Chains A and B, each alone.
Chain A
């Protein structure tokens, strides 16, 4: 269970402060597939980063399974993130000098998985990247890069998968592939929060949350399924 308690995020810049999230309250059940929609600049990325323990909010709490994320020490939060949360970025964020398999294994050192390489190969297999394991990101298509990022996000068997416009840089066919993988993770009991503009995503999710100027509007679509 994820509880987002009255979160406000104000970015301080040299040209004044920007309120990206303004008192957001949200509860997401375990195993739920939630889409976050909203216009550009409405705060989707900010919200996902905050839930992913990567961005400290100015006010409010994020509580995952009873753990208040931003009351943990930096190191403890990093370990929690490694264990429990997978994150897929719109910009992929792969390390250019590492091969596909090494990028996927990047997170392996942090947890005590017995055989991370076997797990990584299994994921690459599922994601259709087995033949690309030894390639550098520069040799991959956008879709392959994003699937590599998904493999990296799933390596440590997280309970929560966050995806920030993972299909934003992909053609429709590749976008479908990525969405199907998120959906598969959800079907295996994982919680997914997806920031997207995609229409197609709406058919897969349990619920859609609308963000506007950092405030949550009416939740359209289905009610929580479980």
Chain B
């Protein structure tokens, strides 16, 4: 009897067992393929981010003294509030958040504070990100830790600033920075208090993107901003950007550890299943050997089955894994998703090669052990 027809008949007989084995390989390969696809996407996304993204910029009015800004963190000049809208709607300028504010140092009952008016944060159209900083309602104020302490302010108090009354809705915890002496309110309230209608003192742009491949993305971002806001100055704040980059690098490192782990786990899984199949069929091996099958023919029979399982599982797993990556990937990797998450034919070839080899190797040792035993030793065992 031909080996192939014997394999086919065994599969037809133990089809549940066969399907389970194929399923196992399918899941293993699917996991592997989807993780690989995702990892690739993540890596490219990270590379792209590191090359061009994560630049946090301060956009300052023309008349701001940069040295003083660097020293105090406060911009003394002002620019029109409309700049925010202009920047937000510029085509090609990509960012995650835009935060406009009007900030001024002032004295309140003899205590130095920084009055900070915040405009509602802007996100690019279509993005729904939670604001990085709280949104402050009209007529309310958030008071920094030291300011609250020195002025004896508590939540619920009414704070009088010039001719404006603000309700304190929040006394903030200690930050150890300039935030501790801030009193934050809505931009328009601050404009009223400071008699600077329609003025802002700075715009913070978080996670600006530059899609041109260049070593100097900041200068491109600068010129993009200058094209809409010709009289603005642009500063890069690096520390925040590197922190974000570090975070992304960490994700990549996790992938680097997780991927080999998954590969090994899948390999062991396939191996265990194949070994179980061989053990289940030891009696059969005894019969085949008794009627005169050599060890080679027995081996061929079992390796043949392992290869069939591996090939089928690899194909299904590839389809499934790719579908998985297609389905969930875009949510995770927004920027590179359309290009990178397309099916990776290389992974199909790898799965088609590795899955059968894995299952063949796994079945090799137990089959050889069973096939070289004296048939009687197997057949008399019950």
Contact B287 A56 (CB under 8 A): no
Partner of B287, one of A81, A93, A109: A93
- Residue total for B at the interface (Cβ-Cβ under 8 A): 30
Partner of B289, one of A78, A91, A94, A98: A78
**Is B379's beta carbon under 8 Å from chain A?**
yes
Looking at chain B's contact residues, the main secondary structure is helix
Contact B377 A55 (CB under 8 A): yes
Output the least CB separation between B290 and chain A (Å). Answer: 6
> How far is A152 from B9 in the complex, measured between Cα atoms in Å?
18
Contact with B along A70-94 (1 / 0, CB 8 A): 0000110011011100010101011
**Is B127's beta carbon under 8 Å from chain A?**
no
Partner of A78, one of B283, B292, B377: B292
Residues of B near A54 (CB, < 8 A) are: 289-290, 374-376, 379
> How far is A93 from B380 in the complex, measured between Cα atoms in Å?
11
Contact A106 B12 (CB under 8 A): no
Contact A95 B284 (CB under 8 A): yes
**Is A24's beta carbon under 8 Å from chain B?**
no
Residues of A near B375 (CB, < 8 A) are: 54-55
Mark the stretch among B141-149, B188-196, B294-302 that contacts chain A: B294-302
Contact B14 A97 (CB under 8 A): yes
Contact A93 B372 (CB under 8 A): no
Output the least CB separation between A216 and chain B (Å). Answer: 20
Output the least CB separation between A159 and chain B (Å). Answer: 14
Contact A97 B291 (CB under 8 A): no
Residues of B near A102 (CB, < 8 A) are: 1, 9
Contact B295 A74 (CB under 8 A): yes
Contact B290 A55 (CB under 8 A): no
Residues of B near A95 (CB, < 8 A) are: 284, 287
Taking CB atoms and an 8 Å cut-off, the chain B residues in 1-53 that contact chain A are 1-3, 6, 9-10, 12-14
**Is A105's beta carbon under 8 Å from chain B?**
yes
Output the least CB separation between B131 and chain A (Å). Answer: 66
Contact A107 B287 (CB under 8 A): no
Q: How big is chain A's contact interface, by range?
A: 20 to 34
Q: A55-B376, A102-B1, A109-B2 are in contact. Are A87 and B290 (CB under 8 A)?
A: yes
Residues of A near B292 (CB, < 8 A) are: 78-79, 81-83, 107, 110-111, 156
> How far is A49 from B287 in the complex, measured between Cα atoms in Å?
13
Contact A97 B13 (CB under 8 A): yes
Output the least CB separation between B54 and chain A (Å). Answer: 61
Residues of B near A78 (CB, < 8 A) are: 289, 292-295
> How far is A29 from B381 in the complex, measured between Cα atoms in Å?
31
> How far is A152 from B292 in the complex, measured between Cα atoms in Å?
11
Most buried by A among B286, B292, B297, B372: B292
Most buried by A among B2, B288, B291, B294: B291
Q: A55-B376, A55-B377 are in contact. Are A109 and B3 (CB under 8 A)?
A: yes
Contact A55 B374 (CB under 8 A): yes
Residues of B near A217 (CB, < 8 A) are: none
Output the least CB separation between B278 and chain A (Å). Answer: 15
Residues of B near A91 (CB, < 8 A) are: 379
Closest to B291 in A: A107
**Is A108's beta carbon under 8 Å from chain B?**
yes
Output the least CB separation between A23 and chain B (Å). Answer: 20
Output the least CB separation between B159 and chain A (Å). Answer: 86
Output the least CB separation between A124 and chain B (Å). Answer: 15
Output the least CB separation between A191 and chain B (Å). Answer: 18
Residues of B near A87 (CB, < 8 A) are: 290-291
**Is A96's beta carbon under 8 Å from chain B?**
yes
> How far is A190 from B293 in the complex, measured between Cα atoms in Å?
23
Closest to A97 in B: B13
Contact A97 B12 (CB under 8 A): yes
> How far is A49 from B373 in the complex, measured between Cα atoms in Å?
13
Closest to B374 in A: A55
Closest to A80 in B: B292
Contact with A along B294-323 (1 / 0, CB 8 A): 111100000000000000000000000000
Contact with B along A36-72 (1 / 0, CB 8 A): 0000000001000110101110000000000000000
Residues of A near B294 (CB, < 8 A) are: 74-75, 78-79, 110
Closest to A84 in B: B292
> How far is A91 from B380 in the complex, measured between Cα atoms in Å?
10
> How far is A106 from B287 in the complex, measured between Cα atoms in Å?
9
Output the least CB separation between A61 and chain B (Å). Answer: 16
Contact A75 B295 (CB under 8 A): yes
Output the least CB separation between B287 and chain A (Å). Answer: 5
Residues of A near B296 (CB, < 8 A) are: 75
Output the least CB separation between A79 and chain B (Å). Answer: 6
> How far is A100 from B265 in the complex, measured between Cα atoms in Å?
42
> How far is A49 from B289 in the complex, measured between Cα atoms in Å?
12
Contact A45 B297 (CB under 8 A): no
Q: A97-B14, A110-B292 are in contact. Are A45 and B284 (CB under 8 A)?
A: no
> How far is A105 from B1 in the complex, measured between Cα atoms in Å?
6
What are 22 A-B contacts defined by CB distance under 8 Å?
Answer: A45-B380, A54-B289, A75-B295, A79-B292, A79-B294, A81-B291, A81-B292, A83-B292, A87-B290, A87-B291, A93-B286, A97-B9, A105-B1, A107-B292, A108-B1, A109-B1, A109-B293, A109-B297, A110-B292, A110-B293, A110-B297, A111-B292
Using a CB–CB distance below 8 Å, which chain A residues touch chain B?
45, 49-50, 52, 54-56, 74-75, 78-79, 81-83, 87, 89, 91, 93-98, 102, 105-111, 152, 156
Task: Report, nearest first, the 6 A-B pairs whose CB atoms are least far apart.
Answer: A82-B292, A97-B13, A55-B376, A49-B376, A107-B291, A54-B376
User: Besides A78-B293, A107-B291, 8 other CB < 8 A contacts?
Assistant: A78-B289, A81-B292, A89-B379, A93-B286, A97-B12, A110-B292, A110-B293, A156-B292
